Amino acid sequence: MQLAFCLYKYFPFGGLQRDFLRIALACRARGHAIRVYALEWSGEVPEGFELVTVPARAFSNARRYARFGDWVAGDLARRPADRVIGFNKMPGLDVYFAADPCYEEKARTQRNPLYRLSGRYRHFAACERAVFAPESRTEILMISKMQQPIFEKHYGTPDRRFHLLPPGVSRDRRAPANAAEIRADFRREFALDESALLLAQIGSGFKTKGLDRSLKALASLPEALRARARLIAIGQDDPAPFLRLARALGVGERAAILPGRGDIPRFLLGADLLIHPAYNENTGTVLLEALVAGLPVLTTAVCGYAHYVREADGGHVVAEPFAQEALDAALERMLSDPAARRRWRANALRFAETADIYDNAERAADLILGNAEKGEYRPLS
């Protein structure tokens, strides 16, 4: 089949982007043709992919995205595809990969009512309605079971159109046999002695991921513990406001912010704790990547995958509603207790051996291609 994948922006270090790439590669491996529509693409284009860079320009993102959708619809009218798969919400999709939470819910609970008079709201609400309305034909691949009832509340979407996928953790995130050697090399490279305590925060979009919360928690540590602690944040975003915050909090020399990079497994093995106090997070794949590497996790309950941290007993989940003092206290306890960190590490590695968290791409390919033998999915009409 000819498959058309649509996403606004591709860069190698985004969670949605990595999900897209794994799924598209799984479909290509089954012999299907891959066409990708994108506004922007950073990095290599996989062999066999037809990349169509859509020439949509506008002063606002909402208008640019609307033009993207119109251009793609026109190109598909001239060059049809058997399946149109979207990683952003837009009209005309056969399949939508639901990486983002419900926009309507956020607009009604986190914004002033006047926001719903804006052109931005009208665009994004219409795109979401095109996917989730009861009369829509779009099948929905869910990666967080927390979101389905919210979409159903706002749109009355039939239950049969939702298909829950397992998390998409790459098996190369698991701790290898030489994990201790990799950790030792990593810590030598970053000048971390045996007493040093490294906090890793990994994920693009520093504001949403709660990097400000992490910096405040680092600054709140007792002096002796703070002197041993370092924070390295990695992701695609503007680091400047967070570097300013670190300096204002007095931890500028203890915090570093690095751009996205391809050697994340080294950081997961070299760190002592993953900290991920997100403000909102549909899933949080990095939580699972840390667990399967044996790295204890400190996160917030708002994350869709936080329940895996509890199930694995691989760290601590800060309850909602969030309080900075609760995060501060949890970080101090976790860094002060090496025996607990060893226990969380052992628990996480056991969890990695049996948990059903690795087959997201293959299951998604089954659903996209209409292969019903592994579930109740009805082929697309």
Give the Cα separation of 162 and 19 in Å (integer): 18
Is the predicted pLDDT of residue 13 greater than 90, yes or no?
no
Q: Prior bond to 321 cis, omega within 30?
A: yes
Give the Cα separation of 319 and 301 in Å (integer): 5
Q: What pLDDT digit, counting tens, does each position of 202-257 carry?
A: 999 999 999 999 999 999 999 999 999 999 999 989 999 999 999 999 999 999 99
- What pLDDT was estimated at residue 9? 97
More confident: 236 or 72:
72
Q: Does domain 172-354 have CATH number 3.40.50.2000?
A: yes
| pTM assigned to the model | 0.80
Domain with CATH 3.40.50.2000 in the chain: 2-166+359-369, 172-354
Q: What is the DSSP string of 122-165?
A: HHHHHHHHHHHSTT---EEEES-TTTHHHHHHHH---GGGEEEP
Q: What pLDDT digit, counting tens, does each position of 16-25 carry?
A: 998 999 999 9
Q: Which CATH architecture has domain 2-166+359-369?
A: 3-Layer(aba) Sandwich (3.40)
Mean pLDDT of the chain: 94
- What pLDDT was estimated at residue 34? 98
